[in-house]
């Protein structure tokens, strides 16, 4: 049994929580006992999560009782264990959001400061992973640090191909319309162009804060088992976020057979859209409408490609990759010192 203390800054609705929840579900199948630590807890965890709230000082004290310390881009936790000289650290880089996209002056300042702080501490960690090829290249460009790519995944036991869908009119989904960083403003803007061409179009958007004939705000927090049902109500996903280091909604969409139309950005979304052939990128209203028309015309083919592509990202496969890495860490002579 390998005992892992997994640390993150904020346990709240979003990508980090999804990653932590799934690793906690799948790693025990391969002899790994996971304890999750967070500095801030904003939602109740599922029953299978052993979650504790810890300050960086408390995290360090707990860390000494575990075989592996696995940190998901939390600077305070990382600083504490590196400063103490612990060597059994796995650090997962979830990417650095360009400051131009970070909302609020205070948040921009923190973001810029963290960029410099990480430059001092990351070179001291031997085992660093990145959640996408994009994130790995970003880490190399920013700090000259090489990393092992272990992609995030999708729970294929939960996200399964939908049996049947009517596609005469677009039924569009967006699961991350919380704020403008996630493209809430762009979602509303581009949806209006689709609405002009397809007056009966529907937009199901999580956290958009708008309800009318064409836009339905679905619950901001859904139970895990309910989320695939929402994907199955739609026939395409419209991604308008300003930045993605991996793009969990893309893979979740693909797993249910839902094609993705995504605003083009130089980030991880290009990996998935281009490599899968299960979606299209757009840059303006003209290319958006062309993409929507194309997906509707050839929906079955896009859906099939997405289902096939998503199989590469099973959390079961991801868990096995991490187990191999944990074993490498534990067998390394530097860890035993």
pLDDT digit string, tens, across residues 240-284: 999 999 999 999 999 999 999 999 999 999 999 999 999 999 999
One domain for residues 94 and 199: no
- What pLDDT sits at residue 228? 93
- 18 or 335, higher pLDDT: 18
CATH number reported for the structural domain that contains residue 128 in this entry:
3.40.50.2000
Q: Over 90: is that where the pLDDT of 177 sits? A: no
Average pLDDT on 29-58 reads 97
One domain for residues 186 and 46: no
Determine the distance from the C-alpha atom of residue 296 to the mean position of all C-alpha atoms in its chain, rounded to a whole number: 27
- What pLDDT sits at residue 93? 98
One domain for residues 117 and 211: no
Judge whether 160 lies within some domain.
no
Average pLDDT on 75-96 reads 97
Radius of gyration of the chain measured on its C-alpha atoms: 20
> What integer best gives the mean pLDDT of the chain?
94
One domain for residues 204 and 233: yes
One domain for residues 52 and 94: yes
7: β partners: 37, 71
- What pLDDT sits at residue 194? 97
DSSP for 17-47, please give it.
Answer: HHHHHHHHHHGGGGTEEEEEEEEEE-SPPPT
One domain for residues 148 and 212: no
One domain for residues 183 and 58: no
- What pLDDT sits at residue 300? 93
Judge whether 91 lies within some domain.
yes
Judge whether 159 lies within some domain.
no
Q: In which domain, by residue range, is 44 found?
A: 2-153+315-336
Residue showing tokens 């052939």: 277
One domain for residues 123 and 250: no
pLDDT one-digit tens code per residue, 302-329: 999 999 999 999 999 999 999 999 999 9
One domain for residues 236 and 324: no
- What pLDDT sits at residue 166? 58
- What pLDDT sits at residue 136? 98
Q: Which two tokens stand for residue 135?
A: 């994130």
One domain for residues 320 and 308: no
How far apart are the C-alpha atoms of 16 and 152, rounded to whole Å?
10
One domain for residues 147 and 286: no
How far apart are the C-alpha atoms of 168 and 200, rounded to whole Å?
10
Q: Which residues contact 83 (CB under 8 A, 6 or more apart)?
A: none
3: β partners: 33
Q: Which residues contact 91 (CB under 8 A, 6 or more apart)?
A: 70, 71, 73, 78, 122, 125, 127, 128, 129
Which pLDDT band, with edges at 50, 70 and 90, does 78 fall under? Answer: very high
One domain for residues 132 and 24: yes
Number of domains in the chain: 2
Q: Which residues contact 145 (CB under 8 A, 6 or more apart)?
A: 122, 123, 128, 139
- What pLDDT sits at residue 337? 60
* Contact present, 201 and 292 (Cβ < 8 Å): no
- 313 or 181, higher pLDDT: 313
């Amino acid at each position: 049994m390998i005992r892992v203390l997994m640390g993150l800054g904020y346990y709240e609705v979003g990508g980090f929580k999804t990653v932590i929840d799934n690793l906690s579900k799948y790693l025990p199948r391969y002899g790994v006992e996971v304890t999750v630590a967070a500095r801030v807890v904003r939602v109740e965890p599922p029953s299978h999560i052993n979650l504790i709230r810890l300050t960086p000082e408390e995290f360090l004290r707990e860390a000494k009782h575990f075989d592996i310390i696995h940190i998901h881009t939390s600077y305070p936790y990382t600083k504490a264990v590196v400063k103490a000289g612990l060597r059994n650290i796995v650090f997962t880089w979830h990417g650095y959001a360009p400051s131009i996209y970070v909302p609020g002056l205070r948040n921009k300042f923190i973001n810029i400061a963290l960029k410099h702080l990480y430059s001092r501490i990351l070179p001291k960690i031997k085992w660093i992973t990145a959640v996408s090829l994009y994130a790995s290249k970003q880490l190399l460009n920013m700090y000259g640090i090489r990393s092992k790519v272990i992609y995030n995944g999708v729970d294929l036991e939960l996200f399964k191909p939908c049996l049947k869908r009517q596609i005469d009119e677009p039924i569009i989904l967006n699961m991350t319309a919380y704020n403008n960083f996630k493209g809430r403003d762009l979602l509303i803007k581009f949806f209006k162009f689709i609405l002009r061409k397809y007056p009966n179009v529907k937009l199901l958007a999580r956290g958009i804060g708008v309800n009318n004939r064409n836009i339905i705000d679905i619950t901001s927090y859904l139970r895990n088992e309910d989320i695939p049902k929402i994907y199955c109500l739609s026939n395409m996903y419209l991604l308008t976020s300003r930045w993605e280091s991996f793009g969990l909604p893309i893979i979740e969409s693909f797993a249910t057979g839902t094609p993705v139309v995504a605003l083009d950005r130089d980030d991880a979304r290009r990996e998935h859209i281009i490599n899968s052939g299960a979606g299209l990128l757009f840059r303006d209203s003209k290319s958006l409408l062309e993409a929507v028309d194309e997906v509707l015309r050839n929906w079955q083919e896009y859906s099939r490609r997405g289902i096939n592509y998503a199989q590469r990202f099973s959390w079961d496969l991801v868990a096995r990759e991490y187990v191999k890495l944990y074993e490498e860490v534990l067998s390394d002579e530097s860890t035993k010192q």
